Amino acid sequence: MITPAARPEPHCGHDTWYPLAARITNVVQENFNTRTITLEMVDQAQRNDYQWRPGQFNMLYVPSVGEAAISISSDSDKPQVLEHTIRTVGSVTRAIEHMPVGSVVGLRGPFGEGWPIEAIEGKDVVMMCGGIGLAPLRPMVYWLLNHREMCRRVVLLYGCRTPEDRLYADELEQWHEDPRIDVLVTVDNATSQWVGPVGVVTNLLRRIKVSARETVVMVCGPRILNRVGAWSFLQLHVPPEQVYVSLERNMNCGFGRCGHCQYGPKFVCRDGPVFRYSDIHDIFAKEEV
Amino acid sequence: MSVPDGKRWFLPKESLDALIAVLHQQQYVVIGPVFHDRAIRLEQVQRADQLARGVRDEHSGGQYRLIDGNQELLFEYVVGPDSAKKFFFPPRQELFSLHVKGEQFVIDKVGPAAPKLAILGLRPCDLAAIAVQDRVFGYHQPAGDEAPWASGFRCESELYYTQAREQSLLIAVNCVRPGGTCFCASWGNGPQVNKDMPYDLAMTEMRKGFVIRSKSRKGAAIISSLSLRDADDAEVELEGLLLQRAAEHMGRQLQTDDLPQLLDRAIDSPHWDNVAKRCLSCGNCTMVCPTCFCSTVSDSDDLATGSTTRTREWESCYTHQFSYTTSGPVRSSIRARYRHWLRHKLDTWHDQFGVSGCVGCGRCITWCPVGIDLTAEVESIRRYDSRDENHAPPRITVEARP
Ligand SMILES: Cc1cc2nc3c(=O)[nH]c(=O)nc-3n(C[C@H](O)[C@H](O)[C@H](O)COP(=O)(O)OP(=O)(O)OC[C@H]3O[C@@H](n4cnc5c(N)ncnc54)[C@H](O)[C@@H]3O)c2cc1C
Ligand code: SF4
Ligand code: SF4
Ligand code: FES
């Protein structure tokens, strides 16, 4: 919480450099380098005000270390419970890794355009993701399950290195049993217990039937998966207007001012991170844009 | 009160100190061009005799030199490495300091208050650049003089920009001697001010004094408190001649009407490799450019008090860390970084802010250590483009994919 004098207006952190204080209320170790932390805004009013959409992200702040863009990975119908699934790769993510339950981190957000909830009505939804890319799609899965009447089929295709690397392993099992959603998980390297598919996630497309015109696609993964994933759906003749990709860029401000996240004419933080393929088709295949 | 555009007064040279005194009376910090660090810099001045006098500047790709000029003239040079950007969007700006106490962030210090500045000696291209940054930072010049930034809360650094801009008084000097790298006329941004530019007063220098006009209420008030006489017909005619001659002597030219389309098509131009062989990726061009706005906020600690300060600093798209992600920098090659910069300036800026990101000031040409010249690079790109039979923009079709 910030002293009122310093904060000209109460708001939810998406147009300010001042971090809101949030406490860690739970920690789940997902795999060897990834944890899911649950955050709760310290200030009651901020907790009640905070609303977000699947696909949006926060800038998480550790004083004297810095900020990192992290997607919200929980259920947007319970907006006060803010889970963030964080892979440790550098200074900020390592600092958060060492924080026990009860610690306080800074939070600014929510930022960005989320997944296209408006576009899915009456359609099939196919989500394809790899590694940490499941984190920004998990709120979408929750949303689809909560509002199941909105669309027709729901398919989740997920790829990761080994079975031990799977995020949300218990939940994946649950969804696997759930008749409302088809979940297919593939691994690059199987272990002896693994009975599922092995290979890259795009191979899973052979196992499902895609009715191209009637399908909305959401892709989130490392750079290479974003490309190969999106193109594989285009090859199945899904219209480019119905393919959505969540992109990653270096981010500093989150609200379209610092310039870091530029992608051609777009600011990924403000205009994305989720983009419709047809809006970026002229730069999507280009290197180093 | 609106001032008719055509109305001109005459400000004798001796009255420059009176002008500065009026500004001081109105609590302005007065900024003007001075001779410092062997260059023309924009710095605080107390008196007119601190302004650079009797110097001319020579500009070409990678070269800047000051030589003796006419001792009677104060504004015989054009722009130096500084621009108004450093005042409204400071190179280094503390946002706030905080420490953690229990479950709270306690603010120890907020950022500096926005200054009240009168900037004297801005050039028409400088005004055009201010108008560009006004869009970037969400400040819009009002129709009258009403406070324009009152609508809605913005982040702290923008609040600083909008307040500093709102409080500022801009006194422009038209260019009668354009520099060797200037191409403002190609953009319609000079060598004289136009009615769309944000200024309060604009002057044209002659031997004995200045023909001066006002655009705003603030400017008109200053004119009347100086009780200036009207400019006579000969003075107005001379002003017209000087400015017309200036327009015919621009150092550089650029065909500007088709740049977004040209650079859209040029994303795979072979010319980027040519530039990459010369560009050092030093970032000078982004630092001197009056419209470049990229920045980075980072933390620094005061070990004595335990307080952390978040500071915003200018950043350049030519650095590796600018686009760094876990899988490496997005733009790791110099080719890609120069391409990003040039396309941003001339092409994608239009998509983002509805204007060009270049105003034609020529700074990036002068201050590039290897003399890379935006106007020449565009011409080379244009030559490659016209050689190319296939003018269609690159389309990614499903069939074209492996
Ligand atoms: C929209 C968006 C959503 C994201 N969601 C998640 C998520 O849910 N879970 C997760 O684990 N990671 C996520 N990331 C990636 C995460 O932001 C980076 O891993 C993180 O910034 C690394 O910070 P660091 O200080 O630990 O690493 P360092 O390597 O120490 O960071 C140094 C600098 O590089 C920048 N940086 C480094 N890697 C990245 C990166 N991959 N993307 C953007 N900037 C980077 C940092 O901002 C910082 O400026 C997301 C990124 C974006 C853009
Ligand atoms: S790109 Fe170069 S010429 Fe254009 S405004 Fe910037 S510094 Fe001036
Ligand atoms: S174009 Fe010139 S000034 Fe700009 S980064 Fe390259 S070498 Fe530096
Ligand atoms: S993160 Fe600053 S502009 Fe996008």
- Residue of B387 and A204 predicted with greater confidence: A204
Interface pTM (ipTM) of the complex?
0.91
Instruction: Check whether B148 has a pLDDT greater than 90.
Output: no
pLDDT in tens, B208-235: 999 999 999 999 999 999 999 999 999 9
Which candidate, B124, B134, B143, places its Cα nearest to that of B188?
B124
CA of B289 to the centre of ligand 3 (A): 11
**Beta carbons of A260 and B268 less than 8 Å apart:** no
A122 and A240 assigned to the same domain? yes
Residue A281: strand, helix, or coil: helix
Query: Count of residues for chain A?
Result: 289
Does residue A240 share a domain with residue A124? yes
B344 part of contact set with chain A, CB < 8 Å: yes
Does residue A59 have a pLDDT over 60? yes
Beta-strand pair B29-36/B117-122: parallel
Confidence check: pLDDT of B143 > 60: no
Looking at CA atoms only, how far is residue A84 from chain B in angstroms? Answer: 18
Range in A42-46, A120-124, B2-6, B138-142 the model is least confident about: B2-6
Q: How far apart are CA B379 and CA B250, in angstroms?
A: 17
- Pair (A74, A152) in one structural domain: no
Chain A contact present for B313, CB below 8 A: no
Catalogue the E-assigned strands of B144-207: 169-173, 201-205
Where do we find the tokens 């003796």?
B68
Domain encompassing residue A143: 117-246
- Contact between B166 and B149 (Cβ < 8 Å): yes
Examine the domain organization and report whether A105 and A122 are in the same domain. Answer: no
Question: What is the domain-level CATH number for residue A30?
Answer: 2.40.30.10
Gyration radius from chain B CA atoms: 23
Residues A146 and A89 in one domain: no
pLDDT band per the 50, 70, 90 thresholds, residue A266: very high
What is the pTM for the complete model shown?
0.92
- Please tell me the distance in Å from A157's CA to the nearest CA on chain B: 21
pLDDT band of residue A26 (cuts 50, 70, 90) is very high
Mean pLDDT over residues A117-140, rounded? 96
Which CATH number do you get for residue A144?
3.40.50.80
Spatial separation of the C-alpha atoms in residues B265 and B267, rounded to whole Å: 6
Q: Which atom of ligand 1 is nearest to the CA of A84?
A: 8
HSE value, Cβ hemisphere, 13 Å, CA-based, for B96? 21
A158 with A188, same domain?
yes
Ligand index nearest the alpha carbon of residue A268: 4
**Tokens (6 digits) for A136:** 């920004």
Mean pLDDT of chain B: 90
DSSP H or E stretch at residue B68: strand B63-68
- State whether A206 and A185 are in the same domain: yes
- A104 and A157 inside one domain: no
Residues A127 and A216 in one domain: yes
pLDDT band at B389 (very low <50, low <70, confident <90, very high): low
The pLDDT of residue B190 is 86
In a domain, A121, yes or no: yes
Kindly give the distance from the C-alpha atom of residue A213 to the centroid of ligand 2, in angstroms, as a whole number: 47
* Residue B293 contacts A, CB cutoff 8 Å: yes
- Whether residue A262 has pLDDT greater than 90: yes
Over residues B303-318, mean pLDDT: 95
Number of independent structural domains in chain A: 2
Q: How many CB pairs under 8 A join A and B?
A: 148
Domain boundary among A229, A246, A263: A246
Q: How confident is the model at residue B401 (pLDDT cuts 50, 70, 90)?
A: very low
Pocket test for ligand 4, best of A255, A266, A275 (most atoms within 8 A of CB): A255
- In chain B, which residues have their Cβ closer than 8 Å to the Cβ of A63? 98-100, 105, 299, 308
Token pair for residue A126?
A: 């196919």
Q: How far apart are CA B312 and CA B90, in angstroms?
A: 9
pLDDT of residue A6 exceeding 70: no
End of a domain among A111, A126, A142?
A111
Both tokens assigned to B373: 């010249």
Q: Kindly state whether residues A226 and A131 are assigned to the same domain.
A: yes
How far out from the chain centre does Cα B127 lie? Answer: 7
Q: How confident is the model at residue A263, as a pLDDT?
A: 96
Strands A215-220 and A243-246 come out as: parallel
Residues A223, A107, single domain; the answer is no
Using the 3D structure, point to which of A111, A146, A175 is the last residue of a domain: A111
Q: Taking 90 as the threshold, does the pLDDT of residue A7 lie above it? A: no
> CB-based contact (8 Å) between B142 and chain A?
no
Nearest CA in chain A to B393: A282
The lowest-confidence range among A87-91, B178-182, B339-343, B395-399 is: B395-399
What are the backbone dihedrals phi and psi of residue B47, each rounded to the nearest 5 degrees, phi first?
A: -140, 160
Distance, in Å, from the CA atom of B190 to the CA atom of A64, rounded to the nearest integer, reads 46
Looking at the fold, whether A106 and A136 belong to one and the same domain comes out as: no
Number of H helices, E strands in chain B: 14, 16
pLDDT confidence band for A33 (50 / 70 / 90): very high
Q: What tokens does B192 get?
A: 């004289």
